Amino acid sequence: MLPLPLILAAALPAVDPHSLANPQVVRPTHIALDLGVDFQRKSIRGQADLSLEYPQGESKAATLDLDTRDLTIEAVTDAAGKPLPFALDPPVKLLGQRLRITLPEPRPKQVRIAYRTSPTATALQWLDPRQTTSGKQPFLFTQSQSIHARSWVPCMDSPGVRLTYEAVVRVPAGTTAVMAAEAGAHVPEKGVFRFRMPQAIPPYLFALSAGEIARKEVGPRTAVFAEPGVLEKAAWEFAEMETMVEAAERLYGPYAWGRWDVLVLPPSFPFGGMENPRLTFATPTIIAGDRSLTSVMAHELAHSWSGNLVTNATWSDFWLNEGFTSYIENRLVEEIYGRDRAQMEALLSLREIQETVANPKTAAARTAMYRDTAGEDPDDYEGAIVYQKGAAFLHMLEARFGRKAFDAFLRGYFDSHRFQGMTTPQFVEILRKDLFKGDAASWADAKVDEWVTGPGLPGNVVVPPSERFDRTRAAAQAFAKDGSHAGVRKDWVTAEWLDFLGALPRTMTGAQMEALDKAFAFSKSGNAEVLSAWLATAVRNDYEPAYPALEDFLLRQGRRKFLRPLYQALYDNPKTRERGRALYAKARPGYHPIATASIDAIFK
Ligand code: BES
Ligand code: ZN
């Protein structure tokens, strides 16, 4: 199949198919929020003051159309308190409800919306005290990406719309509130916390959390927030944050967000990390005790350039966020942990692309980095494509032009487009002009159009060498042949263990499984990546002795990346399907809605 020519691709509408708002004629440039967190009702009572700008002149905007989902709108007024007519349209599949506010003449510079969130708001997870480490207080966190900000703030929930904000957050006394923003004058005794986000950001980066949260500095501009029982371990694990920021600044220019802190969430957080500006949200499953899973932190930091500074204009351009970030993550891993580890991680990523592309269940259209995603749930993307194929594309460009030129190009790109949205056709034009300098022959030779809009993996992908993987492969083969594990080294890094496990025969005997577990204690691994890969192997082989560890793992954490393949493996093996269903029924109440949406689809 021929790739869609970019000229055609460029014809995709510039409007965001995942928003019901009308930013072409009126847009909020700033929101002042007053949020009351009610743990009993599982609801936030909010007041939002939106400052408005009329990009085409006031006459063009008769209504202000905002995105909402499951919000109860109590009142809409102008700045003087005069009520404004409004209507909440019927729900639209995936998108929520449009809130249409009729604007009087002269057009208001500000509107105030009083509202309440629903207990089922898709951005909010309300945890009972027993779902936390200390078990003392309830806990709340938001996850706004991709289109969930609208379930806790009425806004133009499109990544192409940017605004600044300020917030007053009211929580029960004794509870701490944090936001991905600058901290203002807190009055913790009264449960009042103030924040300010002076840089304009898209709503998917709005983030709030509340609960028993402690803080420890780990560097001049980095601190770790976590539940008190996790704080010390987390601070040790993430002590290299400042080193990471310095490495990133050397490559791509000054960090634009002031501080870089991290909030370690309770284990039901559905992602590895979320790049909320100034305050990365992270899963506790990256705390392995040996800093071996910190590439997730490098990834979230990288978003401070790719994503938070230059932002995908719509979710069809998602690879501009995640592909670039995965590439930068790999560069940071190289800077901090060395070339070997970076190349091994890049090789594992390439295998993921190849598996996804070869999988008959993957529709060819979904293996294109850039495609029209209208009508789809933007949380349901092909990770290997938008992340890994996107990164592989940039690795190819780097190899073609050399590091010096390519680094300068990226740095200039981030600098010239900072605090702006970016579409794929726009980026491709910049690439053609600034990196290829208009050289049409070179452009064709690099297969750029095929990379960006075509399915599959183009032939000029760069495959990094890794002698260390030659050794893990040999060790797996030796074990398969005669049970020897002389080639296995206890000091392997995560990527080596993953490669070894991946290279073992698809089916193994109980005796082989037992020998492996006895020699390397996989079922007891404190490294969640290794443990989950091992547990998937155990399910495939119906290796009973690993089931207590499997059950424990599925009950104690809710990261979608780990849940999905394990439940899928349980489902796929007829011998374990019912066990999987029962286990899921038991674990489901503790999972985040983003995770349950994916796993419900498995057991449907
Ligand atoms: N921004 C993503 C998380 C995300 C993506 C949330 C889409 C909602 C919708 C974040 O930066 C991310 O990619 N996290 C990865 C970690 C990374 C090392 C690949 C994750 O959570 O697995
Ligand atoms: Zn990411």
Please choose, from the candidates 201, 231, 196, the residue with its C-alpha nearest in 3D space to the C-alpha of residue 213: 231
DSSP state of 487: T
Average pLDDT over residues 16-21: 98
Q: What is the pLDDT of residues 165-202, one digit of tens each?
A: 999 999 999 999 999 999 999 999 999 999 999 999 99
Q: What is the mean pLDDT of the chain?
A: 96
DSSP track, 406-473 = HHHHHHHHHHHTTTEEE-HHHHHHHIIIIISTT-HHHHHHHTHHHHHHSSS--TT------HHHHHHH
Q: CB-based burial of residue 548 (10 Å sphere; 0-12 exposed, 13-18 middle, 19+ buried)?
A: exposed
Q: Tell me, what's the pLDDT at 225?
A: 98
Residue 1 has pLDDT above 50, yes or no: no
300 is annotated as an active-site residue:
yes
Confidence class of residue 14 from pLDDT cuts 50, 70 and 90?
Answer: low
Q: Whose CA is nearest to atom 20 of ligand 1?
A: 272
Average pLDDT over residues 59-79: 98
Ligand in nearest proximity to the CA of 561: 1
Ligand 1 atom closest to the CA of 594, numbered from 1: 8
Ligand 1 atom closest to the CA of 322, numbered from 1: 13
Confidence class of residue 134 from pLDDT cuts 50, 70 and 90?
Answer: confident
Share of the chain residues as helix, strand and coil, in percent rounded to the nearest 5: 45, 20, 35
Contacts of 191 (CB under 8 A, 6+ apart): 170, 171, 172, 173, 174, 175, 177
Ligand in nearest proximity to the CA of 324: 2
Q: Whose CA is nearest to atom 22 of ligand 1?
A: 272
Ligand in nearest proximity to the CA of 286: 1
387 is annotated as an active-site residue:
yes
DSSP state of 491: T
Instruction: Fill in the amino acid letter for 322.
Output: E
**Ligand 1 contacts CB of residue 288 (under 6 A):** no
Q: What is the pLDDT of residues 99-113, one digit of tens each?
A: 999 999 999 999 999
CA distance 595 to 152: 19
Q: H helices of 218-275, where?
A: 228-237, 241-252
Q: Which of 166, 240, 300, 335 is catalytic?
A: 300
CA distance 185 to 182: 10
Please choose, from the candidates 70, 570, 561, the residue with its C-alpha nearest in 3D space to the C-alpha of residue 283: 561
Q: Whose CA is nearest to atom 18 of ligand 1?
A: 296
How many A from CA of 291 to the centre of ligand 1?
19
Percent of the chain with pLDDT over 70: 98
Residue 12 has pLDDT above 90, yes or no: no
Q: What phi and psi values does residue 23 have, to the nearest 5 degrees?
A: -65, -10
Contact 391, 348 (CB under 8 A): no
Ligand 1 atom closest to the CA of 318, numbered from 1: 7
Q: What's the predicted TM-score (pTM) here?
A: 0.97
How many A from CA of 94 to the centre of ligand 1?
20
Q: Tell me, what's the pLDDT at 121?
A: 97
Residue 322 has pLDDT above 80, yes or no: yes
**Ligand 1 contacts CB of residue 564 (under 6 A):** no
**Ligand 1 contacts CB of residue 379 (under 6 A):** yes
Ligand 1 atom closest to the CA of 307, numbered from 1: 1
Average pLDDT over residues 105-128: 98
Residue 495 has pLDDT above 50, yes or no: yes
**Ligand 1 contacts CB of residue 204 (under 6 A):** no
Q: What is the pLDDT of residues 330-351, one digit of tens each?
A: 999 999 999 999 999 999 999 9
**Ligand 1 contacts CB of residue 286 (under 6 A):** no
Instruction: Fill in the amino acid letter for 88.
Output: L
Residue 10 has pLDDT above 70, yes or no: no
Ligand 1 atom closest to the CA of 378, numbered from 1: 9
Q: Tell me, what's the pLDDT at 7?
A: 47
Give the H or E element holding residue 144: none
CA distance 431 to 443: 10
Q: Which of 115, 381, 387, 591 is catalytic?
A: 387
CA distance 129 to 516: 38
The tokens of 465 are what? 């060498």
Q: What's the angle, vertex CA 575, arms to CA 596 and CA 534, rounded to 5?
A: 65
Among 1-10, 156-165, 263-272, whose mean pLDDT is lowest? 1-10
How many A from CA of 7 to the centre of ligand 1?
30
Token pair 């006459």: residue: 59
Confidence class of residue 483 from pLDDT cuts 50, 70 and 90?
Answer: very high
Return residues with CB closer than 5 A to ligand 2 (ion).
Answer: 322, 325
Average pLDDT over residues 424-432: 98
Q: Tell me, what's the pLDDT at 556?
A: 97
Q: What is the pLDDT of residues 218-237, one digit of tens each?
A: 999 999 999 999 999 999 99
